[in-house]
Structure 1
């Protein structure tokens, strides 16, 4: 481990640069090897620094504007952002100012600004911790905040932003016994059956991981399968299956599950988790539209979407994206619904779901699907389950989840889901 902290800070700065200037998601940058040259402790530190900075980016920028009249080049700006967050939140951090001055100095294009960096950070360090605690909750970029306020209102989105800034606890889906998993991990069983761990360490070292007693899955992401509630022996298609949490749920319920996804790499992870948990599913790497097998009792379609419901776990998303891809995603979802219905046997059920906060990727998609298919109905009887709260039920008969729900116990991801029934 680098005792100076410079290696982790340089990597965190690289990640922040890739997100804010190249539009790459943090997972993509890390998957491409950004952390490979670091010791394990430094890997964790770099990832945490980048995540914390992205989560508090708006607040950091507001603090910096008190000391910098004109925004410096983005390379310097990102170094300052990381430093502000560290100075404000990590009382044990050492060498913060020197590290970020060195990062700026090593770049030939910005080396002349090392003096500015040093001066600004020395000033910030005097009041950073006190000011951070009194500052307003960071808000989302305008391109996303505007549509969400239009959909849910100012008050709701203020709650969503508080949830984003607070981050997310670790949710586990038990293979069988939720109470046993809660006891072993120090977690709490949620009303929906997931286990929530507020203070989790390294996942692979937690009790029950190696034994395959559970897998990581946000509580909201576990609800589509619970809503579908298939019966043992049902033939179920999990379309767009990766990362595979729903496949594992379906397999644990005793269904004959086929998991289809286009990503070979992500499907390898699904197979690894199936092996770890001792569960069985047919795993097929294929484009969803090219998969043509029919006659399924049920289909679970977790369609590709904006992922705007997952920002509390992935704070890079609002800064890596700009909303320009939303139109294409909405069109793809519409086509996927139509294709998936064709794979369903008459009388079968399909759950359509997206981890999005945008009604165009949820409520609107279902309303339009009902208009396109005269034999399609929404299964309101599926909502008659004890874990479903009335406030979650939408006008057309689906379920809507937002990060500001369950505020006292750590919130949940934003999700939409509905059960559609094909005519017989």
Structure 2
């Protein structure tokens, strides 16, 4: 349950705008947060609107099922979104149920396209209050096509355990500039030290106000994402290349380990954020705005990290919208891009060097299948198996081949889903 709010219609209108954008834009929740009316609200209303949208997205499957059972035909999408928000208010937030109904009706009354559906909104939500829906069945929390894929890939038990994580609001994981700071920062941030050295805190609110942020002692990075850079095992003075680097958590890890880092990303805007974090942490790296497949640079590196663009289905704990904006066709089209990027990464790995490939995807075509295909077409690379728990990876994530398949329930309290493989290039 989320803290009760007395927020009124402006907060709910902003929530409607945010939910509409999150579900209609492939760029996702982050872009919607910066582009929506949320910006203009007081902090308390902004927090309520965001919490309302996140609760709606985390339970969108069972919410839609409950609503659809009371509809003869689908209303306009704006009306459906008002119903979604009203259901979330009534059953997932600490809101008086009938206030959730009345504010939803008032919200419908504000729009020309939604005004004719005020009666429908009232009837559906009051019907749900009389017969409360079940919103916590794991299988219903994911789209049918994704659950079917996960069941085929990992089995029924693992798929259900993965789906169960969708409903939970995640804690915040931090990576540290100096591992020696772990105990002191854990105390200051009310955090626990995770295997591998990440911190996990249940703190809420603006991270820029947290202890150690201004001094650049840490940055936000999911514990699963931090594993990939640790598997490169870079040493001070070694050269390292981070391809598709933004927003830059792995670049910061490599730089903090003492490597001479080049960070490449096609988005100059996202590289700006990386540069700001480098400045804040006092770390250094060369940044290059370029497409990694066509980057015209002859250098080879001791260590290469490729966190490839992917369907991002493993990030649903923080970005539940990805479950509902992803399409089956995305997986195949992104897999083709990943193959080209892997070949580019291979060319930039010096003989005897190391290459780590990772994706924040739960889809085998983007992970296991990519690793096998890469080894088949690139005979001078071999798989360098990870060891149990290496880099802070959950023990359950180690596969028989020596790759890592991190599922969201593999870490107590949840974690992002990742696939990670490490390769070594033969010496000349």
Farther-moved stretch of structure 1 (376-385 vs 6-15)? 376-385
Structure 1 unaligned blocks of 5 or more: none
In the aligned structure 2, how far is the partner of 1:145 from the partner of 1:78? 23
How far off is 1:142 after superposition?
2.0
1:145 aligned partner: 147
1:101 aligned partner: 105
User: 1:215-273 CA distances to partner (integer Å, 9 max, x unpaired)?
Assistant: 10000000011111111111100110001000111111111111111111111111111
How far off is 1:388 after superposition?
4.7
1:236 aligned partner: 240
Structure 2 unaligned blocks of 5 or more: none
Matches within 5 A, 1:296-315: 296-315=301-320
Secondary structure of 1:290 counterpart: coil
Farther-moved stretch of structure 1 (277-286 vs 346-355)? 277-286
User: 1:48-107 CA distances to partner (integer Å, 9 max, x unpaired)?
Assistant: 211110101122223334544444332211101111111112224584323221222222
2:349 aligned partner: 344
Contact kept in structure 1, 2:397 and 2:410, CA below 8 Å: no
In the aligned structure 2, how far is the partner of 1:214 from the partner of 1:336? 29
Contact kept in structure 1, 2:220 and 2:249, CA below 8 Å: yes
User: 1:167-195 CA distances to partner (integer Å, 9 max, x unpaired)?
Assistant: 31110111112212211100000112110
2:186 aligned partner: 182
1:374 aligned partner: 379
1:418 aligned partner: 421
Contact kept in structure 2, 1:308 and 1:357, CA below 8 Å: yes
Matches within 5 A, 1:16-415: 16-21=19-24, 23=26, 25-65=28-68, 67-92=70-95, 95-125=99-129, 128=132, 131=133, 135-137=136-138, 138-176=140-178, 177-291=181-295, 292-380=297-385, 385=390, 387-388=392-393, 390-406=395-411, 409-415=412-418
How far off is 1:396 after superposition?
2.5
1:9 aligned partner: 12
User: 1:139-159 CA distances to partner (integer Å, 9 max, x unpaired)?
Assistant: 211232222211111211110
Farther-moved stretch of structure 1 (341-350 vs 15-24)? 15-24
Secondary structure of 1:380 counterpart: coil
- Across the aligned residues of Structure 1 and Structure 2, the Cα RMSD in angstroms comes to 2.1
In the aligned structure 2, how far is the partner of 1:298 from the partner of 1:232? 12
Shift in CA distance, 230/22, structure 1 to aligned 2, threshold 3 Å = closer
TM-score calculated relative to the size of structure 2: 0.92
How far off is 1:305 after superposition?
0.7
In the aligned structure 2, how far is the partner of 1:310 from the partner of 1:360? 17
Number of matched residues? 418
Farther-moved stretch of structure 1 (385-394 vs 261-270)? 385-394
In the aligned structure 1, how far is the partner of 2:93 from the partner of 2:193? 31
Contact kept in structure 2, 1:88 and 1:132, CA below 8 Å: no
How far off is 1:295 after superposition?
1.9
Contact kept in structure 2, 1:4 and 1:95, CA below 8 Å: no
In the aligned structure 2, how far is the partner of 1:262 from the partner of 1:345? 23
In the aligned structure 2, how far is the partner of 1:117 from the partner of 1:330? 42
TM-score calculated relative to the size of structure 1: 0.92
Contact kept in structure 2, 1:304 and 1:354, CA below 8 Å: yes
In the aligned structure 1, how far is the partner of 2:386 from the partner of 2:420? 14
